[in-house]
Amino acid sequence: MTTLDRSGSFALGSRHVKRVGYGAMQLTGPGVFGPPKNPDAAVAVLREAVASGVNHIDTSDYYGPHVTNQLIRKALGRYPDDLVIVTKVGARRGTDASWLPAFSSADLTQAVQDNLRNLGLDVLDVVNLRSMFGVHGPTEGSIEAPLTALAELQRKGLIRHIGLSNVTPAQVAEGRRICEIVCVQNHYNLAHRADDALIDDLARDGIAYVPFFPLGGFTPLQSSILSDVAQRLGATAMQVALAWLLRRSPNILLIPGTSSVAHLRENLAAARLDLPKEAVTELDAVGIHPNPS
């Protein structure tokens, strides 16, 4: 049994993936824009992830733009048979590195074609429609038109499965009336827990929940409780935060990102970290008091 096997697996569309995967966003330049300073290091991280047993990679062609997908193709060449690559559409990057909505049928078709070309694939495993009604968090608004357009691309054979990202529970419900939704990717971590009820609802229906910013994103998690638990367990705070997510619900799939091989190995090691019941109780309180003194 490998380290990643310790945390089990969960269905992602028609495939099962290990519950600890890898998010490629940090392989770009600053602000998720432009190329990395060291492309060879980025390639090394991707190869180490797959060599360590990762079979779920999260990406998007608007990372860079085009940078992460081209790096993935360069690093991995012929993809392992069990590898599931999940990408996102619904946004584009301005020349000033801004994040702009790209929700029209033409935008979505172009985005799918860009992902296929830069990844070197004939069909995309999973495509998440990212809601752009609010750039920094879920905001209500109908996703019927863009999701219907994406479902048409699925019928044409360009996409196997569809997911949603940056969405509200109402948008998830709307989406499920239009097509099968295999995963939801939202902001969630030990301190940011607005989706608690949604996670439980999805778990009952066998739908994966993929938290982005599982370690806090651009503002790393800081908590004296988290630090104290990590010290007692002889682990890093980030490993404990990831282990808590794995313990939170069996449908949670992790995609922590990093541009460092050393940090990648630390993140993956969270799969073998067992949290005692008393530690879980302490950590659960962080969501109630995100910044305890």
Catalytic residue selected from 63, 79, 188, 209: 63
Q: In the chain, how long is the greatest CA-to-CA distance?
A: 54
63 is catalytic: yes
Q: Judge whether 195 and 167 are in contact, CB under 8 Å.
A: no
| Residues belonging to the active site | 63
